[in-house]
Structure 1
Amino acid sequence: MKGSAVIVGAGIGGLATAVGLRRAGWEVTVLERWPEIRPEGTALGMRPAAQSALDRLGLGAELRRRTVPYRSAQILTPDGRRLADLPLERIERKEGRPVLMLSRVSLMEMLLDAAGAATVRTAADITDPAALRSRYDLVVGADGLRSTVRRAFFDTTARPRYTGIVAWRGVAAFEPPVHGETWGAGQVFGVTPQEPGVTNWYAAVATPEGHRESLDALRARFAGWHTAVTRALAEADEKNVLRHEIHDLRPRLRSFAGGNAVLVGDAAHAMTPSLGQGACQALLDADTLTTCLREAGDVASALRRYDASRRRPAQRVVTMSRLMTRLAGHHLQGPRNLLLRLLDA
Structure 2
Amino acid sequence: MGNTAVVVGAGIGGLAAAVGLRRVGWEVRVVERAPVLADAGAGISLAANGIRALDALGVGAAVRAAARGQYTGGTRTPGGSWLARMDGAALERALGTPIVGIPRAALHRLLRGALPPGVLTVGAEVTGLDRSAPDRVRVLLNGAPDGTGASMDADLVVAADGVHSRVRGLLLPSHPGPAYSGSTVFRAITDRPLDLRTDFEITWGRGAEFGHIAFADGRAEWHAVLNAPAGVRHADPLAELRGRFAGWHEPVARLLAATRPDAVLHHDVHELATPLPSFVTGRVALLGDAAHAMTPNLGQGACQALEDAVVLAAALADAADTGTALAAYDAQRRPRATSVATAARRAGRMGQRLSSPPAVALRNAALRMAPSGMAVRMILRHADWTAPRLPTPEAGERQSPVE
Match of 1:333 in 2: 364
Counterpart residue identity of residue 165, structure 1: S
Amino acid at match of 1:233: L
- The 5-angstrom pairing of residues 127-138 of structure 1 reads 127-130=127-130, 133-134=137-138, 135-138=153-156
Determine if the alignment matches structure 1 residue 187 to structure 2 residue 240: no
Q: Displacement, 1:7?
A: 0.8
In the alignment, the residues of structure 1 paired with residue 29 and residue 176 of structure 2 have an alpha-carbon distance, to the nearest angstrom, of 27
Counterpart of 2:396 in structure 1 is none
- Offset at residue 113 of structure 1 (A): 1.6
Tell me the CA shift for residue 325 of structure 1.
Answer: 1.5
1:69 counterpart residue number: 69
Q: Identity across aligned pairs (percent)?
A: 39
Paired residue total: 345
In structure 1, C-alpha distance between the alignment counterparts of 2:52 and 2:258, rounded to whole Å: 36
1:231 deviates by: 1.3
- Alignment match of 2:288 (pick from 257, 265, 268): 265
Question: Superposition pairs for residues 230-241 of structure 1, below 5 Å?
Answer: 230-241=253-264
- Which whole-Å deviations, capped at 9, do the CAs of 1:15-64 have from their partners, x for residues lacking one? 11111111211111111111122222222112112111111111122112
Q: Corresponding residue for 1:28?
A: 28
Q: Which has the higher helix share?
A: 1
Deviates more, 1:116-125 or 1:139-148: 116-125
8 Å contact 1:165–1:207 — kept in the other structure?
Answer: yes
Show CA shifts across 1:279-324 (max 9, x none): 1111111011001001111111101111111111111111111112
Equivalence for 1:111 = 111
| Counterpart among 151, 158, 180 of residue 162 in structure 1 | 180
Letter in 2 for 1:35: P
Query: What CA deviation, in whole Å up to 9, does each residue of 1:121-157 have, x standing for no partner?
Result: 1121222222572531111110111112211123632
C-alpha change, 1:342 and 1:203, in structure 2 (3 Å) is farther
User: Which region of structure 1 is more displaced relative to structure 2, 218-227 or 177-186?
Assistant: 177-186
Deviation (angstroms), 1:171: 2.3
Aligned to 2:5: 5
In 1: Cα distance, 2:2 partner to 2:46 partner = 30
Q: CA deviation at 1:169?
A: 1.1
Match of 1:243 among 263, 266, 281: 266
Aligned-partner SS, 2:268: strand
How much does 1:239 deviate?
0.6
Measure, in 2, the Cα distance between the counterparts of 1:334 and 1:123: 51
Structure 2 CA distance, aligned partners of 1:97 and 1:333? Answer: 29
Who is 2:220 aligned against?
199
Instruction: Write the distance in 1 (CA, Å) between the matches of 2:233 and 2:284.
Output: 37
CA distance, structure 2, for counterparts of residue 187 and residue 227 of structure 1: 16
Q: Is the 8 Å Cα contact of residues 150 and 156 (structure 1) preserved in structure 2?
A: no
Cα distance in 1 for residues equivalent to 2:220 and 2:271: 27
| CA shift for structure 1 position 343 | 4.8
Task: Please identify, of 276-285 and 229-238, the stretch whose mean Cα deviation from structure 2 is larger.
Answer: 229-238
299-308 vs 53-62, greater mean Cα deviation: 53-62
Q: Return the alpha-carbon distance in structure 1 between the equivalents of residues 104 and 247 of structure 2.
A: 30
Amino acid at match of 1:238: P
Structure 1 gap segments, 5+ residues each: none
Counterpart check, 1:148 vs 2:128? no
Asked if the contact 2:209/2:225 (under 8 Å) is kept, the reply is: yes
Q: How far does residue 92 in structure 1 lie from its aligned partner after superposition?
A: 2.0
Moved more, 146-155 or 70-79: 146-155
Supply the distance in 1 between the matched residues of 2:365 and 2:233 (Cα, whole angstroms): 32
Q: Which runs of at least 4 in structure 1 moved beyond 4 Å after TM superposition?
A: 341-344
Instruction: Deviation per CA, 1:58-109: give whole Å up to 9, x if none.
Output: 1122112211111121211111111111353443232122112211001100
The residue type paired with residue 92 of structure 1 is E
CA distance in 1, matches of 2:286, 2:366: 35
Q: Which runs of 5+ in 2 are unaligned?
A: 139-152, 355-359, 383-403
Q: Secondary structure at the match of 2:272?
A: strand
Alpha-carbon separation, structure 2, partners of 1:49 and 1:36: 30
Contact 2:71–2:86 under 8 Å retained in 1: no
Residue of structure 1 in register with 2:196 after alignment: 176
Q: Give me the whole-angstrom Cα distance separating, in 1, the residues matched to 2:117 and 2:223.
A: 31
Counterpart residue type for residue 333 of structure 1: N
Paired with 2:170 and 2:254, the residues of 1 have a C-alpha distance of: 47
Aligned partner of 1:255 in structure 2 is: 278
User: Could you say what the CA RMSD is over the residues aligned between the two structures, in angstroms?
Assistant: 1.9
Alignment check: 8 A CA contact 1:158 1:250 kept: no
Secondary structure, counterpart of 1:291 in structure 2: helix
SS in 1 for 2:174: coil
Distance (whole Å) between structure 1 residues aligned to residue 176 and residue 280 of structure 2: 14
